[in-house]
Amino acid sequence: MRKMMMTAILAIPLFAGTAMAQDTLKIGYIDPLSGGGASVGEVGLKTFQFLADEVNAKGGILGKKVEIVPLDNKTNPQESLIQAQKAIDAGVRYLTQGNGSSVAAALSDFVTKYNERNPGKEVLYFNYAAVDPILTNDKCSYWHFRWDANSDIKMAALTNYIKDTPTVKKIYLINQDYSFGESVRTQAKAMLAAKRPDIEIVGNELHPLLKVTDFAPYVAKIKASGADSVITGNWGQDFALLLKAAADAGLKVNWFTYYAGGTGGPTAVKQANLNHQVFQIAEGLPNLGHAPADAFEKALRAKYDFSLFYPRAVNEMRMLAVAAEKAKSIDPVKVAAALEGMEFEVYDGGKGFMRKDDHQFFQPMYISSFGERSDKEPFDEEKTGWGWKLVAKLDADKTVLPTTCKMDRP
């Protein structure tokens, strides 16, 4: 009872808007807007707002304006569920979230149960960045769609690249202590053992998520291990501070990362003077030379002064529009059906598809390195003067991995 009252009280400010909400399509954006994840959460929010503006400028989705409702979850699963309930009570039928697979697992579970109990009021959960493979394997849900490549797909691509780089001999693994970090390190170990058994894993570390303020002790350990390369799935301040500590200590190794491009990352890399020694696996990057993407990048930078870190968010929003038009409705059930198996020309060029079996989106993937630019790389990052350079590309069909998902369909 008390919980219900709390929810009701929390929802009052949102209710005020529901009277005129009939002609808007609200997307609840649940991500950290405070604490250690705030830097990435805010960039994500502005990216989605920019995308909403783009859709609205073209007349919206089926004539309805898209509105992004920001909800701060403090990277906390429990808080996320409160925010999700709050959003749903205010008429939100689409939720999107990305930072933190622990949060994603909780949300996916919540949405699945909610839809079971509230037929006719279904909610869809669009995951744009939480990459724990379990979300599209054992814990898959019909109501969850993921636009980012999962951690295994990224690790497969990274290890393929490392396989052909003979200078890499000793690797140190450092990751955040939760489901995603755990899956990065186990996959890195397994895949390296299969592809390059001669590589020695000289360290395998987990550290608390978004709580470490000084990585100097960890960097001292990496240095002492004699590693020539580091693999890390760290994101948010955990990546920027790790690199900052490495820069302070003068640690010079290769970094194979998932999120070096996140806020503060490029600045830290430049300070560490790691010219083309930091690699990132992602579904896109500036400097690919794809004209529509370049135009988008320019417009985004002109408005917000940051570069596009989430090409997948662009795909998500545009595919939502296409799916709704195909279904001739913004009803989540119909949109979900339209999204299943959908093929789509992705933001950075090339074909992607939403696999029906597990709702994992497959798309071309790119490995890039960060450093000094030539004429071919017009875009820099965070005013460092350095930019991303493509080193390897995988087409969507090369990234397909099997799934263990057994989905309950409505």
**Residue 217 within binding range of other proteins, rule CB under 8 A:** yes
The single residue among 11, 27, 38, 336 that binds other proteins, judged by CB under 8 A, is 38
**Residue 228 within binding range of other proteins, rule CB under 8 A:** no
The single residue among 10, 21, 201, 206 that binds other proteins, judged by CB under 8 A, is 206
**Residue 211 within binding range of other proteins, rule CB under 8 A:** yes
For other proteins, which is the closer residue by CB, 305 or 395?
A: 305
The single residue among 17, 77, 264, 378 that binds other proteins, judged by CB under 8 A, is 264
**Residue 250 within binding range of other proteins, rule CB under 8 A:** yes
The single residue among 67, 79, 228, 248 that binds other proteins, judged by CB under 8 A, is 248
The single residue among 17, 35, 349, 350 that binds other proteins, judged by CB under 8 A, is 35
For other proteins, which is the closer residue by CB, 164 or 177?
A: 177
Tell me how many residues contact other proteins (CB under 8 A): 32
**Residue 237 within binding range of other proteins, rule CB under 8 A:** yes
For other proteins, which is the closer residue by CB, 160 or 204?
A: 204
Smallest distance from other proteins to CB 94, Å: 24
Smallest distance from other proteins to CB 155, Å: 22
For other proteins, which is the closer residue by CB, 17 or 203?
A: 203
Per-residue buried b or exposed e for 286-309, using 16+ beta carbons within 10 Å of the residue's own CB: bbbebeebeebbeebeeeeeebbb
For other proteins, which is the closer residue by CB, 50 or 142?
A: 50
For other proteins, which is the closer residue by CB, 34 or 118?
A: 34
**Residue 303 within binding range of other proteins, rule CB under 8 A:** no
**Residue 12 within binding range of other proteins, rule CB under 8 A:** no
d(CA 56, CA 70): 18
d(CA 258, CA 251): 19
**Residue 216 within binding range of other proteins, rule CB under 8 A:** yes
Smallest distance from other proteins to CB 372, Å: 21
The single residue among 116, 138, 164, 177 that binds other proteins, judged by CB under 8 A, is 177
**Residue 208 within binding range of other proteins, rule CB under 8 A:** yes
The footprint of other proteins (CB under 8 A) covers 33-36, 38-39, 42, 72, 177, 203, 205-208, 211, 213-214, 216-218, 220-221, 223-224, 237, 241, 248-251, 263-264
